[in-house]
Amino acid sequence: MREQLFSVWGGSLAVRKDLVLTKDSVTIMVDAVIYYRVFNPTVSITKVENATHATQMLAQTTLRNMLGTKSLADILKDREEMSDQMEAVLYAASKNWGIKVERVELKDVKLPTTLQRAMAAEAEATRDARAKVIAAEGEMRASHALKEAANVMSESPSALQLRYMQTLTEIASEKNSTVIFPLPMDIISHFMKR
* CA 134 – CA 132 distance, rounded (Å): 5
Instruction: Give tens-digit pLDDT for 106-116.
Output: 888 888 788 77
Burial pattern 25-51, b for ≥16 Cβ within 10 A else e, equals ebebebbbbbbbebeeeebbeeebeeb
Percent of the chain with pLDDT over 70: 80
Amino acid (one-letter) located at 193 = K
Residue 62 and residue 90 in contact, taking contact as beta carbons nearer than 8 Å: yes
> Which amino acid is located at 4 in the chain?
Q
pLDDT digits (tens, 9 = 90+) for 138-194: 999 999 998 888 888 778 777 777 777 787 777 777 776 666 666 666 666 666 665
